[in-house]
Structure 1
């Protein structure tokens, strides 16, 4: 879907922009450029948190995933499936329904079920292209019926989503009250994310003697960015 936006500036607005700036305006402009001056809504009460299902992530984030906000977790070297699976399992445990947007079709239902994910409380969306990905994610967030929406972009070869796209998704999450968890290979969301974390270490767990078997992944996280209003 292609939409063009046209902005028209009337004469009054043009005259206002052309008029001399009031004393001290240079300081305000400098603060704006440094992003020190925040919008009033950024100073609101902190968003309520929910557990991610991963203790290390909850510690690094300062208490879990904020509802009504976008959280980006940068996963450069594996572990995305573990993060998504545990988050969906935790969501089901608190009575929430989850949605997974999976453009790379990397989700394995059998493995997820083995992790304890309740597949009856999961909607799996496999968008065929970028437009369907964005619109589908927006619709999921707009419904307000999904406590958790996971957007799995790890390993996506296409170009990153635009800043406008991230801003729209963050706004839809805020309006619908959902946790929007974006998994990426490199940081993309920037200022649109209330919280950005990076996986700093991945260690595979093995159990048993003789012929040990794989028993999951241990992950460590570091905070990259925490927006105002996120304690």
Structure 2
């Protein structure tokens, strides 16, 4: 993920997209970038789909990642994220809401916005649709562009890689001139 699409310290960033659009791959790339610099990150996992084994294989140092499981309770996830962004010491707090993004009162969005500014943490919210409206400094949408299959025979059955495109929906610092496109290997 380029610098212009990376989460911003002291701001809210949203990554939205449908299933298999690359939003989780972008989330993992952001987590990997932060812990790779020796900083600490937190992941609030609403759907409990985070796989620590895969994350470790992707190079994420799990000793620098706090994993919060919420039992599929979105209200608990929002409260956990609210508490974590108020704690000093995290460079990034990621909130993965999955497919069922709850409604967020405007007051809560502004509360999160002011909390991340006070603690200089980057809050990354990932889900199917936008959540924080104008409180987000950066919002991007991911799309699946193509899939490549591998394996023997005329009908390969193993996913080899996927191409995604990212479109900027909102950017206070200015959007990149071209829409980034990435290949993700399986």
The answer to whether the superposition gives a TM-score over 0.5 is yes
Moved more, 83-92 or 73-82: 73-82
Tell me, what secondary structure is at the counterpart of 1:138? helix
Pairwise CA distance, 1:205: 5.2
Distance 1:225 1:63, change over 3 A: closer
Q: What TM-score, normalized to structure 2?
A: 0.79
Contact persistence 2:94–2:124 (CA under 8 A): yes
CA distance in 2, matches of 1:202, 1:167: 34
Aligned with residue 124 of structure 1, among 33, 51, 67? 67
* Structure 1 vs Structure 2 CA RMSD: 2.3
Distance 1:154 1:130, change over 3 A: closer
Moved more, 199-208 or 118-127: 199-208
Stretches of structure 2 that go unaligned for 5 or more consecutive residues are 175-186
Tell me, what secondary structure is at the counterpart of 2:38? coil
Q: Max radius of gyration: which structure?
A: 1
Contact persistence 1:80–1:154 (CA under 8 A): no
CA distance in 2, matches of 1:72, 1:90: 17
| Aligned pairs (5 A) from 1:169-180 | 169-180=112-123
Task: Report whether the alignment pairs 1:137 with 2:45.
Answer: no
Residue in structure 2 matched with residue 69 of structure 1 by the alignment: 11
Pairwise CA distance, 1:85: 1.3
Task: Report whether the alignment pairs 1:160 with 2:81.
Answer: no
Question: Greater strand share, 1 or 2?
Answer: 2
Residue in structure 2 matched with residue 193 of structure 1 by the alignment: 136
Moved more, 208-217 or 130-139: 208-217
Contact persistence 1:102–1:127 (CA under 8 A): yes
CA distance in 2, matches of 1:136, 1:216: 34
Contact persistence 2:36–2:60 (CA under 8 A): no
Q: Greater RCO between the two (CA within 8 Å, min separation 6)?
A: 2
| Aligned pairs (5 A) from 1:31-70 | 54-55=1-2, 58=3, 62=4, 64-70=6-12
Stretches of structure 1 that go unaligned for 5 or more consecutive residues are 1-53
Task: Report whether the alignment pairs 1:93 with 2:69.
Answer: no
CA distance in 2, matches of 1:84, 1:63: 11
